[in-house]
Structure formats: C-alpha cells, structure tokens
Amino acid sequence: MDYRSAGVDVMAGRAFVERIRSSVESTRRPEVIGGLGGFGGLCRLPAGLRQPLLVAGSDGVGTKLELAQTHGRHHEVGIDLVAMCVNDVITSGAEPLFFLDYIATGKLGPDALAAVVEGIADGCRQSGCALLGGETAEMPGFYGAGRYDLAGFCVAVVEADAVVDGRHIQPGDRIIAVASSGVHSNGFSLVRRILVEEERRHGSLAADAPLPGDRRPLMDALLTPTRLYAGLVKALRHAEIPVGGMAHITGGGLPENLPRCLPQGVHAAIDPGSWERPALFRWLQEAGQVPEADLWNTFNLGVGFCLVVPPSATDAALALCRRSGQEAWILGDVRQGEAPKGAALAGVPA
C-alpha cells in the first residue's frame, strides 16, 4: 500500500499549488516578504503607523457550500469566504493586511478548488489584502467525493487612536444602511429547507427560472457572492468622515448585529419602510411561509452593512457611499435608553 492508494495524491497536491501560484501572487501587498511555499507567511506592518493595533477575524461560508458545490459555483464561494472575514474586521475601522485560507476535501478536484482559490484571490484584491498563505487538506473517508469545506482568517491593522468602537455614539446619531447583494452567506440552512419543500410541492425546482420580481434565475440570486465593504470603509477613513460605529449584518440579521456596535445606554430605532425589501427575500418568505420575526432574525433583508454617524456627517457619508458604488439610505437613528422590552431594536418585530 501507499499514500495514493489510501486516497491522498501528493504529486497532485504539488501540481495544485503551482496552478494557484499566479492567483496568490496577484494579491501581493508591498509589506509581504517572500513568496508562496514557506511554512509561514511573512508580512511587515505598513510604514508610518504610530500605535498600530492588529485586528483578527475568522469565519466560513456555512451550508451555502452545499448549494454552491451542487451547482458548480466555486469561484463565488471563494469571494464569500473573504467577505465574511474582511467585513467583520473592518467594522473597527481597520485596513485588511492579509488573508489565510483552509480548504479540506475528500479528494483533490483541481478544477473546482482552483476556482475557489481564484475566488479567494478576487476577494482579496477587492479588499486590498494579500493572500498570504493557506492549507489544502485531502481527507478521504472524512469528506465525501467532490465535497470540500472552507475556513478563512483575516488580519487587519488600525491606529490605536482611530479605532471605531462605538464610544463616540450619541443619541440622535443617524444609522445608514448599505445594501447587501442578496442573502450573503447566512441563513442557508433555512434556504435549503425551503428549496427542498418547493421541490416536493412542485415535483422539481425551477432553479433556472427567473425569480418573481427579479430578472435573475433563482440560483443566481441565491449564490451571488457576499458584497465586500472594505473599499467603502477605506474611503470613509480617507475622507475623515466621523463614523462612530459599524456593523456587518450577518447571522441573526439586524436585531442581533446592529446593537453590537452601540455603547450601553442607547438603542437603535429603525424604519422598516425606509427601503424596499428585495424580491429574493419576499420569495423566501412566501415559499417557506416564514414568520416575519423569523425573517428578521435570520436574513439581512437587503442590508449588508451599517454606519452610525453624527447628523452633521450624514449627507457626506451617503454621498461617499454612492460614489463608491454602494446603494445607501438612512435606516434609522440612535435613541436614549434601552430598546423596548422584548425587542433588540425599536421598529423590528420581536
């Protein structure tokens, strides 16, 4: 017996590393030292920082991977992996420095996994961070044939006196919503259950049929990659727009994530009528008969990121969002005291 007969092809693994080398090198930042292939990646801190703080985050893509692998959307989930990590660390006002990935699979499928890494590199380029390294683990007998799992790790840097941590938020500050690109990478256990039920009811799933109220096929809408907001946060920082808090709207939706950027003694009040809920979420609610409160506590409902700014900075922040190619609007405001009893946010079904 040998390793290959046990299900692990070392030579294929080496060939795979060579295949992805150009994608990795396309993300290089000036601070990166050396190249792909070492036991660890080396990266300097950017020059000119006085009191740099490192900000780290880790995440995955969740059960969206099941749909993506079934429908061959590997590049997209590579972007998702970066976005789920980067969008977290930038809420502190930090600039992403580098990203690491971990890919575990039952058997190395070079085409699919190369597409994943190309997607990861795409997300890194969009975010301005280097793909510093990673690991691909072939684990036959643990993962099914053709299946893989992903984990990502991001490190960012911010000046100690520029950290955005909510301490400057005051009652009366405005909450700005920045649009999502769709479901992003949360709530897919419910999405998949809805799809199974749709298939049971109708005998098949019209994955390629246009989504009602949207020109995209259903599967295209569901597997649209998570939007990246690092460029927007960098632009806000360079424009010196005072941002008191930021929230990445992930699992748990607005009720769970928006309060995380607020200090004690205040709460957020939002206007559910301030935007039109995207057609995809309307379809999910109707197809799954999802109660309104569950919808709010599962999905982002079209809001991918939030900014909290003083009233005097609202117009400038909105204008900059739009110049950056992001749809944005006033979602609500910050109010004194705790949220109404039984609710995480005022204006949202408990």
pTM of the model: 0.93
Closest by CA to 176, choosing from 297, 333, 298, is 333
Residue written as token pair 């941590």: 165
CATH of domain 10-162: 3.30.1330.10
Going residue by residue through the chain, which has 350 residues, state the pLDDT in tens, using 9 for 90 and above: 656 666 667 677 777 777 778 888 889 999 999 877 778 889 999 999 999 999 999 999 999 999 999 999 999 999 999 999 999 999 999 999 999 999 999 987 888 999 999 999 999 999 999 999 999 999 998 998 889 999 999 999 999 999 999 999 999 999 999 999 999 999 999 999 999 998 888 777 777 778 888 888 999 999 999 999 999 999 999 999 999 999 999 999 999 999 999 999 999 999 999 999 999 999 999 999 999 999 999 999 999 999 999 999 999 999 999 999 999 999 999 999 988 877 778 888 76
134: which strand partners? 101
174-336 placed in CATH 3.90.650.10: yes
What tokens were used for 78?
Answer: 């590579």
CB 184 within 8 A of CB 87: no
The residues, any chain, with a CB within 8 Å of residue 331's CB and separated by 6 or more, are 175, 176, 177, 270, 271, 274, 275, 303, 306
Phi-psi region at 34: left, alpha or beta (left = phi > 0; alpha = psi -120 to 50): left
What's the start-to-end Cα distance of the chain, in Å?
A: 60
Domain extents in the chain: 10-162, 174-336
CA 32, 35, 40, 44: dihedral to nearest 10 degrees? -10
Element (H, E) at 117: helix 110-127
Q: What is the number of helices (H) and of strands (E) in the chain?
A: 11, 11
SS3 readout for 194-231: HHHHHHHHHCCCCCCCECCCCCCEHHHHHCCCCCCCHH
- Please compute, for residue 7, the number of CA atoms within 13 A of its CA located in the half-sphere on the CB side: 13
Beta 174-179 vs 95-105: how paired, if at all? unpaired
177 φ, ψ (degrees, to nearest 5): -95, 140
Closest by CA to 225, choosing from 74, 39, 20, is 74
Strand, helix or coil for residue 298: coil
The residues, any chain, with a CB within 8 Å of residue 57's CB and separated by 6 or more, are 85, 86, 88, 89, 153, 154, 156
Phi-psi region at 7: left, alpha or beta (left = phi > 0; alpha = psi -120 to 50): left
pLDDT at residue 25, as a whole number: 87
pLDDT at residue 215, as a whole number: 83
What tokens were used for 110?
Answer: 């070079």
Residue written as token pair 């992403």: 96
348: which strand partners? none
pLDDT at residue 2, as a whole number: 59
Closest by CA to 66, choosing from 248, 278, 252, 219, is 219
DSSP string, 126-145: HHT-EEEEEEEEE-BTTB-T
Distance (Å, whole) CA 86 – CA 240? 21
